[in-house]
């Protein structure tokens, strides 16, 4: 076998992840487009969102009840004169100008609290007596009222550029009148599968051939992470053809290769990249599945020319491809999508059954997270290793096993990466 084309740089998982995060902080999205608010979930803001008026715009009652002067309720029960009724959206000229001592106005949730009143008593603690109401409980000053501007002042920045829009952010945009939003265009992510044995999904595979599944799992992950997948033709395990397709892929904002990064004689991806003057940040991570994962950058071939294009060589075993995308490619894609950087965090669940492991590598093993409410538990899926798509399709998470653990007892807390 020929000597490896590049010096090998194999990093512990956390170090490799931080290397990617460091590079991801150096990239940004520039092109933007305007989208309708309904099409904006999952998109990344390219403009700050600013409050167009105070939030709330008036002192807002949070209860149905009676607007009172809290000092009037020192001795209970107390009878107050009802001088008006204020519903949500009430016109200003129908709201009592002032609530004097001994007075009250009935008020609905979401209605403006009239001047003079400093609290709202819930209707449950009152009893109507004709023109009067008997109040049965006291309230502290300010109770059941959100003061004008307490949530945000007019002109305040509510969301920054780089925020990926979730439903609460969408609601916030709507509440300040933004029916269209300026968002970053999705980065184009080229997917280049390698391998002489790989055939197209519509082809009838020969007895030793297999269908290309990695391009499709990657496309799904790219879409989900905010990118636009660009599927290239499958590359042969032959240097020149491979290099041509890599050059094609480097025209996108990010290139993901799968397969051809292990130690086999026909694993030519690193060699082809080296011929294109790639810089390698790492050529392996101490993880399983996915140990041969490669991360680097090719100079001067970027979509806008000059800046260079980052690439990942993801191991070809289907689960290795999926896991290494999640661990390493995702933060780079998010950076290129304009998203502000974020650290990776894992959730925790109790392991259902004792399990044993080989030490030395951090493992990300397909698992099924179950339980109910606060009682989360997880079990490992029985699988045939990192090529077992059938077992992994049944899983809903990966269980994270530290490299030094030989045995984890039933009931122990383990980290879980959702998928």
State the residues that interact with Mg ion by CB under 5 A: 195, 259-260, 316
Looking at residues 381 to 400 of the shown chain, list those that interact with ligand AMP (rule: CB under 6 A).
387
Residue 262 binds which of ligand AMP, Mg ion, none (CB < 5-8 A, kind-dependent)? ligand AMP
Question: Of the two residues 259 and 292, which places its CB atom closer to Mg ion in the complex?
Answer: 259
Looking at residues 256 to 275 of the shown chain, list those that interact with ligand AMP (rule: CB under 6 A).
258-260, 262, 264, 267
Shortest reach from residue 237's CB to ligand AMP, in Å: 8
- Burial of 26: CB neighbours in 10 Å, binned 0-12, 13-18, 19+: exposed
Shortest reach from residue 313's CB to ligand AMP, in Å: 9
Question: Of the two residues 185 and 291, which places its CB atom closer to ligand AMP in the complex?
Answer: 291
Question: Of the two residues 214 and 339, which places its CB atom closer to ligand AMP in the complex?
Answer: 214
Residue 323 in tokens: 């896991």
Question: Of the two residues 216 and 346, which places its CB atom closer to Mg ion in the complex?
Answer: 216
Shortest reach from residue 238's CB to ligand AMP, in Å: 13
Residues 239-258, one symbol each (x = binds ligand AMP by CB under 6 A, - = not), give: -------------------x
Member of 96, 316, 335, 366 binding ligand AMP (CB under 6 A): 316
Q: Is 284 in the site for ligand AMP (CB under 6 A)?
A: no
Member of 106, 126, 283, 317 binding ligand AMP (CB under 6 A): 317
Residue 318 binds which of Mg ion, ligand AMP, none (CB < 5-8 A, kind-dependent)? ligand AMP
Residue 210 binds which of ligand AMP, Mg ion, none (CB < 5-8 A, kind-dependent)? ligand AMP
Member of 126, 193, 252, 288 binding ligand AMP (CB under 6 A): 193
Shortest reach from residue 234's CB to ligand AMP, in Å: 7
Residue 258 binds which of ligand AMP, Mg ion, none (CB < 5-8 A, kind-dependent)? ligand AMP
Question: What is the 3-class SS of the chain, one letter each residue?
Answer: CCCCCCCCCEECHHHHHHHHHHHHCCCCCCCEEEEEHHHCCCCEECCCEECCCCECCCCEECCCEEEECHHHHCCCCEEEEEEEEECCCCCHHHCCCCCCCCEEEEECCCCECCCCCCEEEEHHHEEEECCEEEECCCCCCCCCEECCCCCECCCCEEECCCCECCHHHHHHHHHCCCCEEEEECCCEEEEEEECCCEECCCCCCCCCCEECCHHHHHHHHHHHCCCEEEECCCECCCHHHHHHHHHHHCCCCEEEEECCCCCCCCCCHHHHHHHCCCEEEECEECEECCCCCEEEEEEECCCCCEEEEEEEEECCCHHHHHHHHHHHHHHHHHHHCCCCCCCCCCEEEEECCCEECCCCCEEEEEEEEEEECCEEEEEECCCCCCCCHHHHHHCCEEEEECCCCCEECCCCEEEEEEC
Shortest reach from residue 51's CB to ligand AMP, in Å: 49
Residue 198 binds which of ligand AMP, Mg ion, none (CB < 5-8 A, kind-dependent)? ligand AMP
Give the residue closest to ligand AMP by C-beta: 316
Member of 103, 144, 212, 221 binding ligand AMP (CB under 6 A): 212
Residue 145 in tokens: 């009222």
Q: Is 210 in the site for ligand AMP (CB under 6 A)?
A: yes
Q: Is 198 in the site for ligand AMP (CB under 6 A)?
A: yes
Residue 97 in tokens: 């100008």
Instruction: Classify each residue of 142-153 as buried b or exposed e, where b means 16 or more C-beta atoms within 10 Å of its C-beta.
Output: ebbbbebbebbe
Q: Is 106 in the site for ligand AMP (CB under 6 A)?
A: no
Which residues of the chain form contacts with ligand AMP (CB under 6 A)? 193, 195, 197-198, 210, 212-215, 258-260, 262, 264, 267, 315-318, 387
């Amino acid at each position: 076998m020929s000597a490896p084309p590049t010096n090998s740089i194999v990093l512990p998982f956390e170090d490799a992840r931080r290397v990617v995060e460091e590079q991801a902080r150096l990239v940004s999205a520039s092109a933007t487009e305007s989208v309708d608010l309904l099409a904006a979930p999952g998109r990344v803001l390219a403009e700050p969102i600013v409050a167009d008026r105070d939030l709330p715009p008036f002192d807002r009652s949070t209860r149905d009840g009676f607007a009172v002067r809290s000092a009037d309720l020192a001795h209970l029960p107390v009878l107050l004169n009802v001088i008006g009724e204020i519903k949500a959206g009430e016109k200003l000229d129908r709201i009592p100008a002032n609530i004097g001592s001994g007075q009250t106005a009935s008020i609905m949730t979401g209605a403006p609290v009239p001047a003079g009143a400093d609290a709202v008593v819930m209707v449950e603690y009152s009893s109507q007596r004709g023109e009067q109401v008997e109040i049965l409980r006291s309230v502290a000053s300010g109770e059941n009222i959100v003061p004008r501007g307490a949530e945000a002042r007019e002109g305040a920045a509510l969301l920054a550029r780089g925020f990926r829009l979730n439903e609460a952010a969408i609601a916030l945009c709507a509440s300040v009148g933004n029916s269209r939003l300026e968002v970053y265009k999705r980065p184009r992510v080229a997917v280049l599968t390698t391998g002489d044995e790989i055939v197209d999904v519509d082809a009838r595979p020969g007895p030793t051939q297999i269908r290309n599944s990695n391009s499709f799992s990657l496309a799904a992950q790219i879409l989900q992470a905010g990118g636009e997948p660009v599927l290239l033709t499958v590359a042969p395990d032959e240097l020149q053809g491979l290099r041509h397709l890599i050059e094609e892929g480097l025209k996108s904002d990010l290139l993901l290769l799968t397969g051809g990064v292990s130690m086999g004689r026909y694993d030519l991806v690193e060699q082809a990249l080296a011929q294109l003057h790639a810089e390698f940040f790492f050529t392996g991570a101490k993880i399983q599945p996915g140990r041969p994962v490669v991360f680097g950058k090719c100079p001067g071939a970027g979509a806008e020319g000059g800046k260079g294009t980052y690439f990942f060589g993801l191991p070809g075993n289907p689960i290795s491809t999926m896991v290494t995308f999640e661990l390493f490619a995702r933060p780079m894609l998010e950076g290129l999508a304009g998203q502000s950087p974020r650290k990776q965090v894992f959730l925790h669940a109790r392991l259902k059954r004792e399990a044993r492991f080989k030490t030395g590598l951090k493992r990300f093993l397909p698992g099924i997270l179950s339980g109910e409410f606060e009682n989360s538990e997880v079990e490992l899926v029985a699988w045939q290793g990192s090529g077992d798509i059938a077992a992994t399709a049944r899983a809903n998470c990966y269980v994270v096993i530290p490299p030094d653990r030989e045995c984890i007892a039933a009931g122990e807390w383990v980290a879980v990466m959702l998928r």
